[in-house]
Amino acid sequence: MKFKFEHRFDVPVEELEQAMFAEDLPAFLQEHMPSLKGIEVLERQDSENAIQRKVRYEPVPLIKKVGPKKVPPEAMIWVEQSKYDRSRHEMTFENMPTHPKVKNLMTNKGTVRLMASGSGSMRVLEGELKVSVPLLGRVAEKIIFKTAGKVVEEEAAALKKFIAEKK
């Protein structure tokens, strides 16, 4: 399943970029996102041209079942592995589930692009979510997408609040 989310921010691209990679953003997100139980930066490497990182996300268990299958809370924990190209204002990412069974069944990867838009900027998140389970795969993708969409919207609102408080 392919997906796309767009969010407008009332700041220039450079200011949005700075906020997205601020060292105090993870703690802020954890405090201001009810759907997020934990967030931890595992690795971060900054260079003049790029930011590479691994970030562990633990959501509040929002998906209890997919069809008849129960989903244990730890099945929704993932590690974002990403690389942000400063010159292109573009991040490639892959969200790697940490649960051994889910790791082999689900892939989620894509890009996040920042671009100027009027007097502010736009963040466009595009990607693909694939659950490789016979019969229930498509159902799982739809459930995960719906839930993830709410989390992405919550994150965008929290990021806007973070930016406003930094001014």
Asked if 52 and 82 touch (Cβ cutoff 8 Å), the reply is yes
Q: In a structure prediction context, what are the per-residue pLDDT tens digits for the chain, which is 167 residues long?
A: 999 999 999 999 999 999 999 999 999 999 999 999 999 999 999 999 999 999 999 999 878 877 777 888 888 899 999 999 999 999 999 999 999 988 999 999 999 999 999 999 999 999 999 999 887 888 889 888 988 899 999 999 999 999 999 87
pLDDT score, position 135:
77
Which two tokens mark 66? 């997919």
- Domain residue extents for the chain: 2-166
CATH topology of domain 2-166: Alpha-D-Glucose-1,6-Bisphosphate; Chain A, domain 4 (3.30.530)
Bridge partner list, 70 = 65
